[in-house]
Amino acid sequence: MTHATTRPTSPRIAIIGAGLGGLTLARVLHTRGIPATVYDLEISPTARNQGGTLDLHPESGQAALAEAGLSEGFRRLARPEGEEMKILDKTGAVLLHEAAEDAAGERPEVDRAALRALLLDSLPDGTVRWGAKVADVTPLAAGAGFALTFADGGGVSAALLVGADGAWSKVRPLVSDATPLYSGISFVEAHLPDVDHLHPAAAALVGRGSMFALAEGKGLISQRNGDGRIRTYIALRVPQEWAASGAVDFDNPAAARATLASYFDGWDPSLRALITDAEDTLVPRPIYALPVGHRWGRVSGVTLLGDAAHLMSPFAGEGANLAMLDGAHLAVALAAHTGDTEAALAAYEAALFPRSEAAAAESAENLIAAFAPGAPRGMLDAMAAHGPGADEDQSTPRSLVRPEGPALAAARRGPVA
């Protein structure tokens, strides 16, 4: 591990944030022979639970990995069986069941931690400085770049600064006044470990991929992870301050489970068991989004990517995919405009803004559909509206789960089980 204060050399390109977006940028730059340094507040690559599984889309996440020369590594990590998907109502009735074999096969799942490790391992030693929390960013004299101050008091300067630092970006205020707005929905993350052995009923309920049980403005969204666990997002329409309000005693897991399960009174016991049988680690995750269509005027020497640029709810399944695509596009633009960074940034942002606006709008629509009265019917319709044959520009990012297969077509006609 290299610490920011032990190697204070200032880079030409400083990337703030070693998430999937920042790392993809660093990797694609590296393949073009352009050095960059990534700064992250985490003290090591394994300091934080990296979250669950992602389906990588061919036109975004997978395209970025191809640009990074990592397609083969991705194929080794990918879990095609994770494409299985179910949509249930509160009684446990299955309204849609798309087996992995029926899915298009284009969007295999990958565990986020494994994907991040693939990117990290592809970078030269010392590219990422861990334990480097950016506390302040100050523009230098016109066109001379930016001074970064770290929380430990160290600092560097950089000619080009890229904010890949997520939802609460420290870099964003250099280009925009926008701040994330609460979506009205909060998740609580709950885990069942080793489900094949310890929770076979839940294993059968969820299957090998994802399950969405939605009704009455709330939901249970579960996904099978590569380590055999089921990760469930308990989704509730609650006020912004709910998680910190004491409505759920997160310091007392048994009490928290009971309270959370009470929100699902009247739901099928097999669904409530995803809460009542969960491990003690229950993590609240309020969902925020930047305004749809967030953009900024060109500011010399700085840009944003990923959530810093276009934070959206997870209901389009696009955030990580787009962060990686942004990183790859920015690297390719910089390589194509050697000696004219501003031209590279302008070209990158000209493509970034419409692309992310389309995905953010879709995500916002999908969130409304998922928690509307009559759910999950609206979600089925929203998915079908984005499937093959729908009237849309196929070059824009598509809906959350996958194109319409035979099971979805059947589901639109009525319940199948």
Binding site for ligand FAD (CB under 6 A): 16-22, 39-42, 54, 133-134, 164-166, 170, 187, 233, 285, 306-307, 314, 317-321, 323
Residue closer to ligand FAD, measured from CB, 187 or 267: 187
Residue 1 C-beta: closest distance to ligand FAD, Å:
15
- Three-state DSSP class for 288? strand
Q: Which is nearer to ligand FAD, 50 or 92 (CB)?
A: 50
- Taking the complex as a whole, the smallest distance from the CB of residue 173 to ligand FAD amounts, in Å, to 12
CB of 193 to ligand FAD, least distance (A): 19
Count of helices and strands (H, E) across the chain: 13, 17
Q: Nearest approach, Cβ of 39 to ligand FAD (angstroms)? A: 5
User: C-beta of 186: minimal distance to ligand FAD in Å?
Assistant: 10
What does the alpha-carbon distance between residue 154 and residue 127 come to, in Å, rounded to a whole number?
17
Q: Which residue has the tokens 């010392």?
A: 126
Q: Which residue number, 4 or 95, has a Cβ lying nearer to ligand FAD?
A: 4
Task: Map tokens 């992602």 to a residue.
Answer: 54
Q: How far is the CB of 266 from ligand FAD (least distance, A)?
A: 25
Q: Which is nearer to ligand FAD, 42 or 277 (CB)?
A: 42
Beta bridge partners, 3, equal 130
- Is residue 57 exposed (0-12), middle (13-18) or buried (19+ Cβ within 10 Å)? buried
Backbone angles phi, psi at 404, to 5 degrees: -65, 120
Q: What is the Cα–Cα distance from 277 to 105, expressed in whole angstroms?
A: 32
| Position 255, amino acid | A
- CA 243 to chain CA centroid, nearest Å: 21
Q: Which is nearer to ligand FAD, 97 or 170 (CB)?
A: 170
Do the beta carbons of residue 11 and residue 35 sit within 8 Å? yes
Spell out the residues 6+ positions from residue 136 whose beta carbon is closer than 8 angstroms to its own.
148, 149, 170
Q: How far apart are CA 285 and CA 290, in angstroms?
A: 16
Smaller CB separation from ligand FAD, 166 or 405 = 166
C-beta of 317: minimal distance to ligand FAD in Å?
4
Nearest to ligand FAD of 52, 405 (CB atom): 52
